[in-house]
Amino acid sequence: MKVTINGAAGELPDGTTVAEAVRTLTALTSGVAVAVNDVVVSKGAWKSTSLAENDRVEVLTAVQGG
Amino acid sequence: MNEADDVLVLGGEKFTSRLIMGTGGAPSLDVLDRALEASGTELTTVAMRRLDPAVQGSVLDVLRRRNIRVLPNTAGCFTAGEAVLTARLAREALETNWVKLEVIADERTLLPDPIETFDAAERLVADGFVVLPYIGDDPALARRLEQAGCAAVMPLGAPIGSGLGIRNPHSIELIVEAASVPVILDAGVGTASDAALAMELGCDAVLLATAVTRAQRPELMAAAMRSAVEAGRMAKLAGRIPRRRYAEASSPSLPRFA
């Protein structure tokens, strides 16, 4: 299925979870937050939340700023 | 008065330092680390951005090591909706319900959009956030945001990164006079005298980044800002003499010769 992660479109197997999608970017879990289609998915729900076709996943962390 | 009693209470938390540092603009995490230490800050802003797997080291490691509380901002947001989502992501990532609310109107001035900021503030307060909004030097908006439940108001001295100092001290004074939440002068500070002036005007704290991180010697400027904020605070508490048009002798007025 087609999923966009941080603006980059790619193919992921059907049923890929948020946790698995995050792992394509980083092994970290602390200091990281995820939104799918502009809705926050809390860390506790990463493993139980499956992505769907055309989902937009944003994986954010803190950087220098402000 | 005992200096130890003069603490800043912000969102129910106590801070000894009245200098809040931003982390933007530092050439490296090492330079940032030393500047943060020299500043004595206990609260420091970070921005939320897409995770880049290529980036090594994190500003969060520096803050954790220095035991500095993290204040996520919503920099880069143009709408209330973006800011609310960013704040929620920051809460999830950083395990804090504090947010520096920043909704900008345009890229050229980076001036805050008052309508979007107010909208976002109401939504974030309702969602349980401790909201610290970045605003123009507008006493009416400051009052409305306080009434909406914001934990502080953060008027600018001048546009972000401009180093132009406090362009409208009178408005800052009006905000301070009316506010019962802390007033934090945010943005525009260029050098130490700007930070001292903010405190002399009655601000409760100063938030700055660029003035330190882009100074030729960031660590030294951080120390200067720390001293300036402390000096301005003490001068405010001490109570300055009134301004007068003509001299007033400071020596006894009796004639020296009988």
Report ipTM (2 d.p.). Answer: 0.92
Could you confirm whether B100 is annotated as catalytic? yes
Cα separation, B117 vs A26, in Å, equals 33
What fold characterizes domain A2-61? Ubiquitin-like (UB roll) (3.10.20)
Residue ranges for chain A with pLDDT beneath 50: none
- In this predicted structure, the answer to whether residue B2 has a pLDDT above a threshold of 90 is no
- Chain B nearest-CA distance from A14, in A, is 23
Q: What is the pLDDT of residue B250?
A: 86
Asked whether the beta carbons of A10 and A3 are under 8 A apart, the reply is yes
Which of the two residues, B257 and B121, has the higher pLDDT score? Answer: B121
Which among A35, A43, A65 has the least Cβ separation from residue B46? A65
The pLDDT tens digits for B211-248 are 999 999 999 999 999 999 999 999 999 999 999 999 98
- In this predicted structure, the answer to whether residue B142 has a pLDDT above a threshold of 80 is yes
- In this predicted structure, the answer to whether residue B101 has a pLDDT above a threshold of 70 is yes
Cα separation, B110 vs B112, in Å, equals 6
Residue A37, chain B, CB below 8 Å: the answer is no
Asked whether the beta carbons of B157 and B165 are under 8 A apart, the reply is yes
Domains with residue ranges and CATH for chain B: 3-51+58-238 (3.20.20.70)
| Chain B residues with beta carbon closer than 8 angstroms to that of A63 | 46-49, 55, 59
- In this predicted structure, the answer to whether residue B197 has a pLDDT above a threshold of 90 is yes
CA torsion, ordered B91, B97, B99, B105, to nearest 10 deg: 70
| Chain A residues with beta carbon closer than 8 angstroms to that of B48 | 33, 60-63
